[in-house]
Amino acid sequence: MPTIRVVNLKKYFGKVKAVDNISFEVKDGEFVALLGPSGCGKTTTLLMLAGIYKPTGGEIWFDDQLMNNVPPKYREIGMVFQNYALYPHMTVYENIAFPLRAKKMEENEIKKRVHDVAKKLMIENLLDRKPGQISGGQQQRVALARALIKQPKVLLFDEPLSNLDAKLRMMMRAEIKKLQEDLGITSVYVTHDQAEAMTMASRIVVFSRGKIMQYGTPDEVYRKPKNIFVATFIGNPAMNLIRNLDYIKEKGKAFLVSENLRLELPEDVAKKIEESKNSGKFILGFRPEDAKIDQKESDMGFWAYVYVLEPLGRDLIINLKVIGTEELIKIFAEDEVNIKKDEKVFVKLQHGKIHIFDSETEELII
């Protein structure tokens, strides 16, 4: 299976820069997710990998072969489309057989292969139905079968699960991942669902407006987001942000302050800030699970009012209004907390679990 290398890839539609100078690599047999909000250029990137769109600039390599001018049929790609793109007038059997017919394969061999792949995906009993006569989840399997039947070297998925209900999505998620691991096919998986990207991919390309915001493992993009976009896009609920903070030093101690808020910083954090090139304004970020509620003040944290409680069965999300900034934050509660609406509580942050971004560039400082 090839290693895919994308170098300075661009695709412009007139003035729209759908994909704007991106580079990333997908290793042999790796499962990489392209994650980003609607309209950020994910599908465009995928269609360039498939050879449907010609890049405006840049290069696509499969191993050491430049693919820019290789037509789709010679790329040995299987693709699953968002709406499955099953041919409505053909039976499931004919749909799956289509890529083999295009190769003019012998009828016996086609039959054998279709039944093999149908068995693997548990759709053998649907072979003589039309796509309109099976459910969304079953159509999804048929689309997968059609992509797999020609034994491709690269698999491309364009939001394949977005039309399924939540439960089915979870199931298919695991199934696709297992299938990919078993077959070891280099895969690129487009999605706007961060849970999908986090659970399935070994690395995630986070996209925004045609540009790559970060490329890393699920853990990296979660634990060390490179900028505000990644920090807030990944994680549910999103990372809490407190904006518009100034950095000051008093009596050898470092603080992030706004009008009514004062947050003492550990020494190593202060040092990083001083060493960085910055605009003088900062954003503090922390994940909902990295803060604790306390009744009394301690060294690193701030006071807030309880605004709304959101019970989730197993978890409880506490919405708080930060005193002094009026900003809303969300925090996962400890097991048996006993707090009430409008109560004043101290939000205690954990050393090493806060992120500080520059206000202007929105890039991570520490």
Instruction: Report which residue's Cβ sits closest to Mg ion.
Output: 43
Region class of 301: left (phi > 0), else alpha (psi between -120 and 50), else beta: left
43 contacts Mg ion (rule: CB under 5 A): yes
Burial class (CB in 10 A: 0-12, 13-18, 19+), 17: middle
Longest dimension (CA), the chain: 84
- Residue 274 to residues 97, 299, 351, Cα–Cα distance (Å): 63, 21, 18
Taking the least distance from each CB to other proteins, the nearer of 68 and 244 is 68
Roughly how many angstroms between the first and final C-alpha of the chain, as a whole number? 38
95 contacts Mg ion (rule: CB under 5 A): no
364 has which bridge partners? 357
Taking the least distance from each CB to other proteins, the nearer of 46 and 242 is 46
Query: Which range, of 35-43, 104-112, 288-296, 325-333, touches ligand ATP by CB under 6 A?
Result: 35-43
The single residue among 39, 57, 216, 266 that binds ligand ATP, judged by CB under 6 A, is: 39
Q: Edge-to-edge strand order for the sheet containing 154-158? A: 77-80, 154-158, 186-191, 31-35, 203-208, 211-216
Taking the least distance from each CB to Mg ion, the nearer of 43 and 194 is 43
191 contacts Mg ion (rule: CB under 5 A): no
Residues in contact with other proteins by CB under 8 A are 47, 50-52, 71-73, 75, 77-79, 81-83, 85, 87-90, 98-99, 101-103, 146, 150
Contacts made by residues 177-183, CB under 8 angstroms, sequence distance 24+: 177/31, 179/144, 179/148, 180/31, 180/155, 181/31, 183/148
Which sign does the torsion angle of CA 263, 310, 345, 324 carry? positive
Q: Which does 103 bind (CB under 5 to 8 A by kind): other proteins, Mg ion, ligand ATP, none?
A: other proteins
Q: Which does 40 bind (CB under 5 to 8 A by kind): ligand ATP, other proteins, Mg ion, none?
A: ligand ATP
The single residue among 5, 26, 42, 187 that binds ligand ATP, judged by CB under 6 A, is: 42
Write out the binding residues for ligand ATP, residues 190-209 only, by CB under 6 A: 192
45 contacts Mg ion (rule: CB under 5 A): no
Residues in touch with ligand ATP (CB under 6 A): 13, 16, 18, 36, 38-44, 192
